[in-house]
Amino acid sequence: MAKLVLIVALAAGVYFWWLGRRTRLSAGEARTLLGIDAGASENEVRAAHRRVIQRVHPDAGGSSELAKRVNAARDLLLAELRRRH
């Protein structure tokens, strides 16, 4: 029984640690990161993402963390556009 409690406690600790490490972008931060305004269309979001990711991608000398944030910004804004329509 003690082993089960220990395993559950460790699993809960890892889960909450993982949740704490995730950084969520607001829509405004996502737009700023991609350099677009609030009324941007889906095509404008995709074009801005392509433009920014070319500069920050690890293969182009950028960082993987920044590339992840740029991808998250694109995903957030596209999901927001889909919810509106």
pLDDT interval class at 23 (50, 70, 90): low
Cα separation of 44 and 14, whole Å? 38
Helix (H, G, I), strand (E, B) or coil at 29: helix
Q: What is the pTM of this model?
A: 0.72
62-80 pLDDT, tens digit per residue, is 899 899 999 999 999 999 9
Topology of the domain comprising 25-84: Helix Hairpins (1.10.287)
Compute CA distances 49 → 24, 27, 29, 32, 40, whole Å.
18, 14, 14, 12, 12
30-54 pLDDT, tens digit per residue, is 999 999 999 999 999 999 999 999 9
Please report, as a single letter, which amino acid is at residue 84: R
Domain regions of the chain by residue span: 25-84
